[in-house]
Structure 1
């Protein structure tokens, strides 16, 4: 099976490529320097020539705050870029996996959003990810839409790296307490995505590590596991204003994984411990 991975230089794409290579799979990865997904003719020719069996679309404009003011670029990458890939995939009848986000939901309530919940994004980034989902559904028959949240991995910036960096010069940090979600370790997610792409169990999935926490809880566990003496002071979202609205409830239910026979990911605490033990935070 020949698999094309977009965004292969990003956090998730990097580990999807690494996992695929470890399995001896035929993996082709492209970053923005290799293929401009907003250029429809280039995308069409590249995919027609490559003729992959499946495409895992990890590439995205993910600067959530910047997207509020840089709407054209965000739309071009997340919507037009996705459309170009979808059209090319349809011509060669390749399986298509679209990586989406908890940001497609409105963040209201205190229950986990299941896979059938109606999206209602409150940020521009979230809107573009939802528009991408709609394109995939409307134009393809063999698709996976996989929503993840609070991503951390080796190859890129993330909350864990930020907290560890801040701990070098701070003994107390203010961290938001009223946003609750599920961290996603890219190593765990990559294994699942490659298991999934080899099946015909199409549809929506949520693929986060098990369990929920606040950002403040997440920070405390980072410092506890890494032996850092940092006090985490809980603050509200209103005390830490951002350009884009953050969903206060980013809990995602992973029930579809179980229904379709996929193994749930380990707990976020186990995933975080593995990440720190691997030393990935240092690279």
Structure 2
């Protein structure tokens, strides 16, 4: 099986390359220096030459704040890029895996029976940021141009590279005594190891469609940080604060918990609880 992995130098791309068995797969890993996914002719040319069976798109413009001031670049990478990959993969009859985000929702959750429930795949997307809007268009283009698609929305991703977990560990060494962390944003931390496992599972199936892919459970950034420090035995005090204390150009979702509804109904694949996945990650990081 021939596989092209775009965005191969990102956190998820690196993990996918680590997990794919090179004795089973013929892998072409490309970053933005090898392929500009926003240029259709370049994408089509590469796909015609390689004739992949599967394309895994991990490329994205993920700087949420920068997307607000550089919408054109965000749209090229997050929307036109996936469109081009879908067109080219459809032409060579390849499956496409496209990674999307919780930011396609408004971040308020869904009210049911007086309480908020996690988002499921059939809930109406309503992005409130430039990042979310461009990622939603990317989803729409992939659906439009390649029926053999797996679109996976994930959230709070961490792996090999710059991420929240590593930042908190670094700050605990610099600040020592205490850290203030936001306690009014709720989601599900998801390791790239868990998400890559889902992707590896899906590409061997014809179970196409839109999926949510996050670890089980939920927490706030404050609770996430406390668990990181508990596992690592770090004594730095974690103090809860509000989003308003740290204003950002792009609004952050207050509630972005995703339910892996489609995955549970159509497969036997299960994500680990976020605490267990975090412990595995930190153990390997050590």
* TM-score, scaled relative to structure 1: 0.96
Secondary structure at the counterpart of residue 69 of structure 2: coil
Q: Does the 8 Å contact 1:209/1:265 carry over to 2?
A: yes
Task: Tell me if 1:76 matches 2:76.
Answer: yes
Task: Tell me if 1:279 matches 2:268.
Answer: no
Alignment correspondent of 2:268: 262
- Report the Cα distance in structure 1 between the residues aligned to 2:108 and 2:201, rounded to whole angstroms: 32
Alignment correspondent of 1:30: 30
> Deviations along 1:113-141, whole A, 9 cap, x unmatched?
00111110011000000000111112221
Structure 1 unpaired stretches of 5+:
none
Aligned length: 279
Q: Does the 8 Å contact 1:20/1:26 carry over to 2?
A: no
Alignment correspondent of 2:50: 50
| Between 16-25 and 168-177, the greater mean CA deviation after superposition | 16-25
> Deviations along 1:177-235, whole A, 9 cap, x unmatched?
11100111001111110110110011111111110000000000011111111111111
Secondary structure at the counterpart of residue 200 of structure 2: helix
* TM-score, scaled relative to structure 2: 0.95
Q: 1:233 to 1:17 in 2, by over 3 A?
A: same
> Deviations along 1:121-173, whole A, 9 cap, x unmatched?
0110000000001111122211111000000001x210000000000022211
What RMSD in Å do the two structures reach over aligned CA positions?
1.2
Alignment correspondent of 1:60: 60
Residue 139 of structure 1 is aligned with which of 140, 145, 150? 145
Secondary structure at the counterpart of residue 134 of structure 1: helix
Matches within 5 A, 1:1-283: 1-21=1-21, 24-109=24-109, 110-154=116-160, 156-170=161-175, 171-279=177-285
Secondary structure at the counterpart of residue 97 of structure 2: strand
Question: 1:4 Cα deviation (Å)?
Answer: 0.9
Q: 1:178 to 1:34 in 2, by over 3 A?
A: same
Q: Does the 8 Å contact 1:21/1:27 carry over to 2?
A: no
- Report the Cα distance in structure 2 between the residues aligned to 1:215 and 1:55, rounded to whole angstroms: 33
- Report the Cα distance in structure 2 between the residues aligned to 1:218 and 1:165, rounded to whole angstroms: 15
- Report the Cα distance in structure 1 between the residues aligned to 2:254 and 2:26, rounded to whole angstroms: 40
Q: Which runs of 4+ in 1 moved over 6 A?
A: none
> Deviations along 1:33-54, whole A, 9 cap, x unmatched?
1111112211110111010001
Q: Does the 8 Å contact 1:160/1:222 carry over to 2?
A: yes
Q: Does the 8 Å contact 1:11/1:152 carry over to 2?
A: yes
